[in-house]
Amino acid sequence: MQIYTHPYHTLSQVSTPWTKGDKIEGYNDLLQFEKDMVDLMKKSNGIGLAANQIGITKRFFAIGSDTFDTFKKNAIIWNPLIKKHSKEKVFDVEGCLSFPDIWIQVERPKQIEVQYETTQSETKTATLDGMESKCFQHELDHLDGITFNSRVSKLKWDMAKKKAGKK
């Protein structure tokens, strides 16, 4: 399992829903796959990792950080969606494992209400705020074939790339 970088083709593809019968190539054990995906995210210093970043166009992602309220423990989120978002928006710096060393300010709703499925096929809801909200939105964008460079102006993007090149 590896993280693909932009412009890898799956990063711009809209993912299809995950169904219980779906298989993941190279894995007979879904729990082992989840562990490997979370381990890859953590080893890469990420707090989120979408399926299409590892070449799978299904609707799931890994998320987790001990600074989060809902996802303190790393988890795989299946078929996530945003039910509601606040009118209040915030600008905050984001990075992406598929765009190494690039950091840019992105505007997103401050708070979101989400729905998702667990590995045990339970449907859950949560209200997310702050960094946790931003991370969920960023990973969900990936599943919709949207990368964070499309959330900013060409000028801002060019400046961020130039700055990354100076490191």
For the stretch 102-142, pLDDT in tens is: 999 999 999 999 999 988 889 999 999 999 999 999 999 99
Q: Residue 115 is inside which H or E element, if any?
A: strand 111-117
Q: Which CATH homologous superfamily contains domain 9-165? A: Peptide deformylase (3.90.45.10)
- pLDDT (0 to 100) of residue 34: 93
Please name which of 126, 118, 123, 125 lies closest in space to residue 31, comparing C-alpha atoms: 118
- Looking at residue 148, its amino acid is F
Please name which of 80, 74, 67, 58 lies closest in space to residue 140, comparing C-alpha atoms: 80
The mean pLDDT value for 44-67 works out to 95
The mean pLDDT value for 92-99 works out to 94
- pLDDT (0 to 100) of residue 26: 86
- Residue 17 carries which DSSP code? P
Contact (CB, 8 A) for 151 and 165: no
Q: Which residues are catalytic?
A: 139
From CA 119, how far away is CA 11, in angstroms rounded?
24
Termini Cα distance of the chain = 27
